[in-house]
Amino acid sequence: MPHPATPAADSAAHGLPDAAANVPPGRAAPFALLPASFRSAAARGIRGRCPRCGEARLFARWLKPAEHCPACAQDWTHQRADDFPAYLSILVTGHLLAPVIIALVSDFELSPGALAAILLPLAVVLMLGLLQPAKGAVIALQWWHGLNGFVRERRPDRDEPGPA
Ligand SMILES: [Zn+2]
């Protein structure tokens, strides 16, 4: 344990290899933990995990990302998701509810009040439930493409040695 209380020591505490000890703070995760593709980064973000290393939670609170990843020290203050996650949530909620609305209207003779009583709470729950995954995906998108001050990082090819 060479340097206690350094980000590298934190990384070691989270099960990361010692290779992280030689890279500067902020770039502490070994390249092996970088996602292989945008899909992989987005999947991590959707699950609420750090898109860069997948080893720690991305969000400190519901929609508030952690300032830094506790595992790889990635700085998440660059993210500018703004309203985009809300647009995505509404879009996906609409697509999920469309067949339900069609089925309710065509198969059941429900009053408009009954329809609203079923659909409005369902829509609110779906939309709120999708907000955090959507925000995780948007942050992963910004990080993957190096937007807003994020450093664009890619995993080296398997036969290339990673930086020691
Ligand atoms: Zn991380």
Is there a domain that residue 12 lies in?
Answer: yes
pLDDT at 27: 55
Q: What is the mean pLDDT of the chain?
A: 83
- Average pLDDT of 15-29? 47
Residue 29, Cβ neighbours under 10 Å: how many?
A: 26
Is there a domain that residue 164 lies in?
Answer: no
pTM for this entry: 0.75
- Say how many domains are in the chain: 1
Which residues, at least 6 apart from 97, have a Cβ–Cβ distance to it below 8 Å?
119, 122, 123, 126
Range of the domain at 113: 7-144
- Digit-coded pLDDT (tens) for 61-115: 999 999 999 999 999 999 999 999 999 999 999 999 999 999 998 998 888 999 9
More confident residue, 66 or 27: 66
What is the distance in A from the centroid of ligand 1 to the CA of 2? 21
Is there a domain that residue 157 lies in?
Answer: no
What is the distance in A from the centroid of ligand 1 to the CA of 48? 11
Is there a domain that residue 115 lies in?
Answer: yes
Is there a domain that residue 153 lies in?
Answer: no
pLDDT at 155: 84
Is there a domain that residue 28 lies in?
Answer: yes
pLDDT at 109: 82
Rounded Cα distance between 58 and 41, Å, is 12
Rounded Cα distance between 124 and 94, Å, is 11
pLDDT band at 25 (very low <50, low <70, confident <90, very high): low
Is there a domain that residue 11 lies in?
Answer: yes
Rounded Cα distance between 100 and 104, Å, is 6
CA angle (43 as vertex; 41, 45 as ends), nearest 5: 70
pLDDT at 22: 45
What is the distance in A from the centroid of ligand 1 to the CA of 150? 13
What is the distance in A from the centroid of ligand 1 to the CA of 64? 15
Is there a domain that residue 37 lies in?
Answer: yes
